[in-house]
Chains A and B, each alone.
Chain A
Amino acid sequence: MEEICVTELIVDQLVIARGTRRVLDGITLRVGYQERVAVIGPNGAGKTTLLRAILGLIPVQQGRILLDGVPTGNLSPLERAAKLAWLPQQALVQEPITALEFVQAARYRFQEPNQIAREAARRALQRAGAEPWAHSLITRISGGEQQRVALAALFAQEATVLLADEPANHLDPAQQVSAWTLLGQAACAGTILVITHDINLVPLLGDVSQTRIVALNRGQLVFDVLANEPSLPERLRELYGIEMLAYGQAASRVIVPRGPGERCT
Chain B
Amino acid sequence: MHVTGRVLTSRWVGRAALFAFWLGPILGLFGPRLSHDVESFVFWQLRVPRVIAGLLIGASLGLAGAVTQALFRNPLATPSTTGTLAGATLGALLALVFGVASTSIGMPGIALCAFAGALATSAIVLGASTSGRLRTQDILLIGIAVTLAASSAATVVEDIADAPALVAASRWSLGHLSQIGYDRIRMAAPILLSCWILLLSQIRALQLLVLGEDVAHARGLNVRRARVICLSGCALAVATAVAWCGPIAFVGLIVPAIVRLAWGGNQRVVLPLSLFTGAALLSLCDALGRLAWSKHEVPVGVVTAAFGAPVLVALIALRDRG
Contacts and interface: CB of A to CB of B under 8 A. Distances in A.
B222 interface: yes
A84 interface: yes
Interface string A108-137: 110000100000000000000000000001
B210 to A, nearest CB: 5
A144 to B, nearest CB: 18
Given A96-B265, A97-B266, A105-B211, A82 B220 contact: yes
B199 to A, nearest CB: 18
A91 B222 CA distance: 19
B46 to A, nearest CB: 41
A97 B265 contact: yes
Contact of A105 (B73, B207, B260): B207
A56 B73 CA distance: 22
A169 B211 CA distance: 19
Contact of A101 (B73, B215, B217, B266): B266
Contact of A97 (B214, B222, B264): B264
Most buried by B among A52, A85, A93, A97: A97
Nearest to B213: A57
B3 A140 contact: yes
Given A95-B265, A96-B265, A108-B204, A102 B211 contact: yes
Contacts of B222: 77
Interface residues of A, number: 31
Interface residues of B, number: 22
Contacts of A82: 220
Contacts of B298: none
Contacts of B218: 55, 57, 81, 84-86, 88
Contacts of B208: 105, 108
Contacts of B3: 140
A78 B215 contact: no
B148 to A, nearest CB: 26
B210 A93 contact: yes
B217 A77 contact: yes
B109 to A, nearest CB: 42
Contacts of A77: 217, 220-222
A137 B264 contact: yes
A40 interface: no
Contact of A80 (B73, B211, B215, B220): B220
A94 interface: yes
A236 interface: no
B219 A108 contact: yes
B264 A98 contact: yes
Contact of B215 (A86, A98, A114): A86
Contacts of A92: 212
A80 B221 CA distance: 10
A247 B265 CA distance: 49
Interface of B: 3, 73, 204, 207-208, 210-212, 214-222, 260, 264-266, 268
Given A86-B218, A93-B211, A157-B219, 7 more contacts: A95-B211, A97-B264, A97-B266, A98-B264, A105-B208, A108-B208, A114-B268
List the 3 closest A-B pairs by CB distance, nearest first: A81-B220, A109-B220, A95-B265
